[in-house]
């Protein structure tokens, strides 16, 4: 795993005693992860294992495995992305995660990775999908992911699921996903997300998101990921989402609205800088949000694609904005306020933070 770029080494030396100590502190710190796409969070080792098993299969399977292995190879040297060629990569990952046994394997692996990195509460998000070649349906997908969450051997982390609507989904499919979220809400689904390639399709699922809200589910939306989408962002905000992903490009008026309404923002610094929607860590919009004490949660987005676990995101924030250990602790503890689980879970988690000793 690549180490994070630490822009302010002299600060790090003074407060932490060096980059290694900073990383160690950030790993030990209990953390909340609220923006992690399942298929973007699978470790390269797990993907390689799945691909190698498939290489020995049918011609079609071997082709899928070769595609995935070439993505893995490319990721080893890639250090910037273009949003336009980022999304097609998932096709190759999906070819490895389209059967139920493998889904369980990857969910167990992803939860363990987050636990090992010090995450104590995780909201995983994933897009239910069908695959005729393996008999996978959206419903089975959700059931399988939930079953994997409940059978995960990890004991120090609790995990919930958010169902993702892809922008390319029709309004009918979006509604189907909301209906699945409602159906499985007592089994660990806490909300609905809107994600996917922001260039690929316009926002077309307002009714579905409003239905989710009306049913008492929480809603988070990838908002303002690219420039010049003011009308779309305004329309998305009319849904009254409970959280926002990124919120990078917003007019002054919309940003003021987000601040006034105190809508928590899931901040993915590495993802934004590597995808070049933010020009540098120093200029990331989390800077202003932190100065205004606006609810902000550090998140990974796709930790295996961007090679940055959550502890690295904390280390980056600390070194970029000269944050002290106490400030990092407060930031991670305040993230509890924004989770989609109920108040008992929030109280339980606050107890974990209050009894933590570095």
Angle at 263 between CA 205 and CA 345, to 5 degrees: 95
Among 4, 40, 118, 191, binds ligand 6MZ (CB under 6 A): 40
Distance separating alpha carbons of residues 165 and 177, to the nearest angstrom: 7
Choose the one of Zn ion, ligand 6MZ, none that binds residue 127, judging by a C-beta under 5 to 8 angstroms depending on kind.
ligand 6MZ
Query: Based on CB atoms, which residue is closest to Zn ion, 97 or 248?
Result: 248
Binding-site string for ligand 6MZ from residue 297 to residue 326, where x marks contact by CB under 6 A and - marks none? ----xx------------------------
Distance separating alpha carbons of residues 203 and 327, to the nearest angstrom: 37
Q: Which residues pair with 264 in a beta bridge?
A: 243
Among 46, 98, 126, 158, binds ligand 6MZ (CB under 6 A): 126
Asked about 232 being catalytic, the answer comes back as: no
Among 12, 38, 148, 286, binds ligand 6MZ (CB under 6 A): 38
Please count the residues of this chain forming the interface with Zn ion, following the rule CB under 5 A.
1
Query: Based on CB atoms, which residue is closest to Zn ion, 12 or 93?
Result: 93
Structure tokens at 17: 């005693």
Among residue numbers 289 through 308, which ones bind Zn ion (CB under 5 A)?
301
Binding-site string for ligand 6MZ from residue 65 to residue 104, where x marks contact by CB under 6 A and - marks none? ---------------------x---x--------------
Distance separating alpha carbons of residues 144 and 111, to the nearest angstrom: 14
Out of 123, 225, 266, 313, pick the active-site residue. Answer: 225
Structure tokens at 209: 């998101």
Name the one range near ligand 6MZ by CB under 6 A: 31-39, 108-116, 147-155, 208-216. 31-39
Q: Is the dihedral of CA 305, 309, 312, 316 positive or negative?
A: positive
> Taking the chain, what is the end-to-end CA distance rounded to the nearest angstrom?
24
Query: Based on CB atoms, which residue is closest to ligand 6MZ, 117 or 301?
Result: 301
Choose the one of ligand 6MZ, Zn ion, none that binds residue 117, judging by a C-beta under 5 to 8 angstroms depending on kind.
none
* Min dist. Cβ of residue 21 to ligand 6MZ (A): 31
Distance separating alpha carbons of residues 25 and 357, to the nearest angstrom: 11
* Min dist. Cβ of residue 355 to ligand 6MZ (A): 33
Nearest residue to 43 (alpha-carbon basis) of 131, 116, 106: 106
Structure tokens at 212: 């989710």
Alpha-helical runs (H) found in the chain: 9-16, 19-28, 44-55, 59-77, 83-86, 89-94, 100-116, 138-150, 171-183, 206-214, 230-237, 252-260, 269-274, 286-291, 310-321, 325-334, 343-354
Binding-site string for ligand 6MZ from residue 220 to residue 249, where x marks contact by CB under 6 A and - marks none? --x--x------------------------
Q: Which residues belong to the active site?
A: 225
- Name the site residues for ligand 6MZ (rule: CB under 6 A): 37-40, 86, 90, 126-127, 164, 166, 195-196, 222, 225, 271, 275, 301-302
Provide the binding-site residues for Zn ion, judged by CB under 5 A.
301
């Amino acid at each position: 795993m690549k180490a994070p770029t630490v822009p302010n080494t002299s600060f790090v030396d003074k407060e932490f005693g060096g980059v290694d100590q900073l990383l160690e502190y950030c790993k030990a710190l209990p953390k909340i992860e609220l923006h992690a796409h399942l298929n973007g969070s699978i470790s390269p080792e797990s993907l390689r294992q799945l691909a190698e098993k498939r290489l020995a299969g049918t011609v079609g399977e071997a082709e899928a495995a070769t595609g995935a292995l070439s993505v893995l190879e490319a990721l080893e040297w890639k250090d910037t992305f273009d949003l336009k060629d980022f999304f097609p990569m998932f096709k190759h990952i999906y070819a490895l995660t389209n059967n139920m046994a493998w889904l369980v394997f990857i969910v167990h692996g992803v939860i363990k990775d987050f636990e090992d990195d010090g995450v104590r509460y995780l909201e995983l998000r994933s897009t239910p999908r069908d695959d005729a070649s393996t008999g996978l349906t959206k419903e089975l997908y959700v059931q399988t992911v939930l079953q994997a969450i409940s059978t995960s051997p990890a004991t120090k982390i609790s995990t919930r699921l958010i169902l993702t609507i892809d922008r390319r989904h029709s309004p009918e499919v979006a509604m189907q996903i909301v209906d699945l979220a409602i159906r499985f809400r007592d089994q660990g689904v806490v909300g609905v997300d809107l994600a996917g390639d922001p260039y690929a399709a316009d926002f077309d699922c307002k009714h579905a998101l409003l239905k989710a809200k009306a049913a008492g589910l929480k809603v988070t939306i990838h908002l303002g990921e690219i420039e010049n989408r003011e009308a779309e962002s305004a329309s998305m905000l009319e849904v009254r989402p409970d959280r926002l992903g990124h919120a990078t490009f917003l007019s002054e008026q919309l940003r003021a609205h987000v601040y006034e309404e105190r809508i928590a923002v899931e901040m993915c610094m590495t993802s934004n800088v590597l995808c070049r929607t933010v020009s540098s860590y120093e200029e990331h919009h989390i800077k202003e949000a932190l100065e205004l004490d606006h609810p902000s949660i550090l998140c990974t987005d796709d930790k295996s694609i961007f090679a940055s676990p959550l502890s690295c995101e904390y280390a980056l924030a600390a070194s970029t904005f000269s944050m002290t250990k106490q400030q990092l602790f407060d930031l991670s503890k305040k993230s509890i306020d924004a989770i989609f689980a109920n108040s008992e879970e929030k109280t339980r988690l606050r107890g974990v933070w209050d009894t933590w000793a570095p």
